[in-house]
Amino acid sequence: MCTAYKVRVYPTPEQAAALNRTFGCVRLVWNTVLAWRHARYHAEGVKTSYAQTDRYLTELKRDGDHDFLYEVSSVPLQQALRHQYTAFVNFFAGRARYPRFKSRHGRQSATYTRSAFRWRDGRLFLAKMDGPVEFVWSWPDVDPAAIDPTMVTVSRDPDDRWYASFAVETETEPESLPATGGQVGIDLGVSDFAVLSTGEKIPNPRHLERKAKNLARYQRRMARKQRGSANRAKAKAKVARAHTKVADARADFLHKTSTRLVRDHDVIAIEDLNAKGMVRNRKLARVISDCGWGEFRRQLEYKTAKYGRHLIVIDRWYPSSKTYSTCGHLLAGLSLGTRMWQCPSCGARHDRDVNAAKNILAAGRAVPACGADVSPQGSSLRRSAVKQEAQPVRAGIPRL
C-alpha cells in the first residue's frame, strides 16, 4: 500500500533559487523532448521509447548550449522523461489526452528518487543543496522520523506556496471502520450538491460564485498593469491567491462531505456522470466545474477502499429520475426543469432528486443479486452530453 504525505515547505532564499533552477531545467527538458518526439513521429511515423529519450537528453547536455543542465540534479530530469513516457502510454491507451508543453506560469514541480535525497531523523536533504529543507508536519499521530519515503516531489504553486509530497510504501493492511449497517444512494446536482436517499440534501456552497466579484476585480487590476513590470507580478500573485482560496475551500468541503459519508455508511451508490461532456453546456459549465464531481468521486473511491467500505457506480444511462422508486412506473420523458412530478400510475407526488437517489440505491443493491453491469466501462463517451434523463431505457435494467 502506498501512502502520500503532503506538507508545506519553507525554503531559504538560496534553496528557493536552486529549486527554481531545477524547475526551469525540468520544464526545458520536458518541452524540448516533447517537441523532438512530436517532430520525429510526424516525420518518420515511429514512436519514441524511454531509452531513446534518455540518449537524447545525454546528447542535449553535451551539445554545448545546455551546460546549465549540469548545475541541477540529473534525477528530476530523468523523472520528467519517465513521466512523459507514462503520459504517452496513457494517451495511446485512451486514458488521457495528448501531453502538452509546460508553462512557467503554472504549477512547477520536480521529483526526486532515493538517489537524489536523504531522509534522516525526519529531515529532508535534497541533492546539490546545502542544509535540510524546512517543512511543517501536519500528522500528530505519525512520527516523521519513522517513515521511509521512496520518492519526494517538491512543487511551487502560482501563489508562491511551496509543498513537498512524500511517497511511503507500507505493508500494513487498510484500516477498517466498524460496520454501521447503513446504505445510501447519492444523486449529484447543481442546485444541491448531493441529495441522499435518506432525504437529506447537501447544499452546494458555490465557492467560485461567492468569490467571483473579487476575482474579477483582481483580474481587471492585473490587466491594467504593464506586462513584465513588478506591479503586474504583484497583481498576478493576488489573482493566484484568490484562486487558491477558492480551491482550498472546495477541497475542504469535498473532504469533509466524503469522509462523513464513508464513516456513516457501509455501502455507497453513486451514478457515473459524464462531467467532461456536461461542461460543454456553456450556461452550466462554470457551475458544474465548481462542484468538483470528479474529485468527489475520486475521494469516495480511495476512502471506501481504505476503510473497508463498498462503493457501487451505477451506469450513467440508468433512468434514475424518470422511474418512480415505489411502484416502478417509468416516464417516457422528463425535462431538466421539472423538480417535482406526480406518478401517473399511483398518483404519488415526490421530489425528483430524492426519488433519483432512492433509485440509485436500489440499483446498487440489485447489482450483487442480478450481476448487472454497472461499471462505467459499459457506457459510451461519444453519446450526448445531456444527463441520462433524455436517454431511452436500456434492456437488462433491474425492475424496482
Q: Annotated active-site positions, please? A: 187, 271, 353
Selection from 51, 60, 53 nearest residue 38 by Cα? 53
Q: How far apart are CA 219 and CA 221, in angstroms?
A: 5
Q: How far apart are CA 107 and CA 160, in angstroms?
A: 9
Q: How far apart are CA 228 and CA 390, in angstroms?
A: 50
Q: How far apart are CA 208 and CA 286, in angstroms?
A: 8
Torsion of CA 271, 272, 274, 275, to 10 degrees: 70
Q: How far apart are CA 18 and CA 375, in angstroms?
A: 47
CA dihedral for 107, 113, 115, 117, sign (positive or negative): positive
Q: Which residues pair with 36 in a beta bridge?
A: none
Three-class SS state of 395 = coil
Q: How far apart are the first and last CA of the chain?
A: 39
Selection from 90, 92, 82 nearest residue 49 by Cα? 82
Cell of 74: 540529473
User: Residue 80, exposed/middle/buried by CB under 10 A (0-12, 13-18, 19+)?
Assistant: buried
User: Residue 185, exposed/middle/buried by CB under 10 A (0-12, 13-18, 19+)?
Assistant: buried
Reduced to 3 DSSP states, what percent helix, strand and coil does the chain have, rounded to the nearest 5?
45, 20, 40
What value, to the nearest 5°, has the Cα angle with vertex 44 and ends 40 and 45? 95
Selection from 176, 206, 174, 167 nearest residue 189 by Cα? 206
